[in-house]
């Protein structure tokens, strides 16, 4: 149980953050704290407090970050604060990955971004005291982390079986792309614009030449995530990182070193496919980073439920968010009844606990 939280803002102590680089229009956002104990947190120390990074992160104006003792709450409308292409290539209904690209104009349509993309509010609470675990937990589809731009980070895959890597499955038609130059795209419904790899329109803004990448977000386990640059600004490859694309080293926000993740650009995984921090994530842990389909562990499989409801798996996961699920809100977002949703969902792991 978390302690009861006071209404955001009511007792807020606004901390104005210093932009660590460039006067970009990303700007910075006040971190409103709800109690004054934050000064006692030993942030950035080797034992893992992340408050320093949360304070230094260049949160977009569309992001509201509220520190509450042991955790912080991230709220945004889900829309990225950077430019998007005018159009996206969107798969027709029923056209699921992998895309063969044989007849793109028959299997996809070109949507105007303004008509396609819809707000998809993100509201999550994340610990400020992440705990590294030897056991890994596979990341699921849908939101695995929150980014300074206001849009979420997804893992590499477009499917629960972890076969179809989004960035390796990109296509274009008449200049419209399935995945944009920022390594992001919305779901086919237009909801939940998300990244599957290095979000260059964020990193280009915040990274500094010759230095380790700058914090661009936090994963749901509480550990921070960065672009591809390691010490001295040298681009990291997957081979230099652990099975969850992480390592321990000094970063601009944590000069004493901290476990953190890197998005990489050489090969899959581009995004983060497992958590190395403790996380309550469907009640099970992954056996290995390979993500053997159907193996034990990992988050619940919503493939059948999505098929029953006639929605994309990602849309279902996005609507459900993190457990405990708000079924009323999820059903409303999906356009189904609560009863239909309940009937379709698999039983929760450890039911009765
Ligand atoms: Zn995607
Ligand atoms: Zn690093």
Ligand nearest to the CA of 250: 2
| Residue 182 Cα to ligand 2 middle (Å) | 21
- pLDDT for 131: 95
Q: How far is the CA of 237 from the centre of ligand 2 (A)?
A: 11
Chain centroid offset of residue 203 CA? 15
What local confidence, expressed as pLDDT, does residue 148 receive?
A: 98
Output the CA 247–ligand 1 centroid distance in Å.
25
Any idea which ligand is nearest the CA of 264? Answer: 2
H/E element holding 276? strand 274-277
pLDDT at 344: 85
185 alpha carbon, closest ligand: 1
Closest CA to 281 of 93, 143, 128: 143
Cα–chain center distance at 116: 21
- Counting ligands in written order, the one closest to the CA of 88 is 1
Cite the beta strand spans of the chain per DSSP E.
Answer: 13-15, 31-33, 63-68, 71-76, 87-91, 108-112, 122-127, 132-138, 145-147, 152-153, 172-173, 176-177, 184-185, 194-195, 215-219, 224-226, 246-249, 258-262, 274-277
Measured in residues, the chain has a length of 353
In the three-class reduction of DSSP (H, G, I as helix; E, B as strand; rest coil), residue 330 is classed as helix
Helix (H, G, I), strand (E, B) or coil at 166: helix
| Distance (Å) from CA 246 to ligand 1 centroid | 22
State residue 300's pLDDT score: 67
What are the pLDDT tens digits along the chain (353 aa)? 333 333 332 222 233 232 333 333 333 334 433 332 233 333 334 455 999 999 999 999 999 999 998 999 999 999 999 999 999 999 998 888 888 888 999 999 999 999 999 999 999 999 999 999 999 999 998 999 999 999 999 999 988 889 899 999 899 999 999 999 999 999 999 999 999 999 999 999 999 999 999 999 999 999 999 999 999 999 999 999 999 999 999 999 999 999 999 999 999 999 999 999 999 875 433 333 333 233 334 456 787 888 788 787 778 887 887 666 778 878 877 878 888 888 888 765 544 33
The C-alpha atoms of residue 298 and residue 318 are separated, in whole angstroms, by 17
Distance 76 CA to ligand 1 centre (A): 19
User: What is residue 303's predicted lDDT score, i.e. its pLDDT?
Assistant: 79
For residues 37 and 35, give the distance between their C-alpha atoms in angstroms, rounded to a whole number.
6
Report d(CA 148, CA 254) in Å as an integer: 17
Q: Identify the nearest ligand to the CA of 261 by its number.
A: 2
């Amino acid at each position: 149980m978390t302690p009861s939280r006071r209404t955001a803002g009511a007792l807020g102590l606004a901390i104005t953050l210093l932009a660590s680089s460039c006067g970009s229009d990303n700007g910075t956002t006040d971190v409103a704290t709800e109690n004054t104990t934050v000064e006692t947190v030993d942030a950035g120390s080797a034992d893992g407090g992340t408050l320093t990074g949360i304070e230094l992160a260049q949160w977009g104006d569309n992001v509201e970050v509220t520190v509450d003792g042991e955790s912080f709450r991230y709220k945004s409308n889900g829309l990225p604060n950077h430019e998007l292409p005018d159009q996206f290539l969107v798969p027709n209904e029923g056209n699921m990955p992998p895309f063969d690209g044989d007849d793109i104009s028959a299997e996809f349509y070109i949507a105007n971004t303004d008509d396609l993309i819809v707000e998809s509010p993100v509201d999550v609470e994340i610990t400020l005291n992440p705990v590294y675990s030897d056991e890994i937990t596979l990341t699921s589809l849908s939101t695995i982390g929150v980014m300074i731009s206001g849009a979420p980070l997804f893992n590499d895959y477009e499917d629960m079986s972890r076969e179809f890597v989004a960035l390796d499955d990109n296509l274009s038609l008449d200049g419209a792309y399935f995945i944009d130059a920022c390594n992001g795209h919305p779901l086919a419904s237009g909801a939940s614009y998300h990244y599957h790899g290095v979000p260059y329109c964020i990193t280009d803004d915040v990274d500094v030449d010759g230095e380790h990448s700058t914090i661009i977000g936090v994963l749901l386990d509480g550990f921070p995530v960065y672009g591809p640059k390691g010490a001295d600004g040298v681009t990291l490859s997957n081979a230099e990182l652990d099975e969850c694309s992480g390592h321990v080293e000094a970063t601009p926000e944590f000069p004493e070193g901290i476990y953190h993740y890197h998005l990489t650009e050489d090969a899959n995984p581009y995004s983060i496919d497992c958590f190395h921090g403790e996380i309550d994530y469907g009640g099970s842990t992954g056996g290995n980073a390979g993500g053997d389909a159907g193996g034990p562990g990992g988050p619940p499989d919503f493939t059948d439920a999505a098929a029953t409801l006639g929605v994309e798996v990602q849309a279902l996961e996005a609507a459900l968010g993190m457990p405990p699920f708000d079924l009323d809100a999820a059903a409303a977002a999906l356009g189904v009844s609560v009863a239909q949703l309940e009937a379709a969902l698999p039983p929760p792991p450890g039911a009765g606990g």
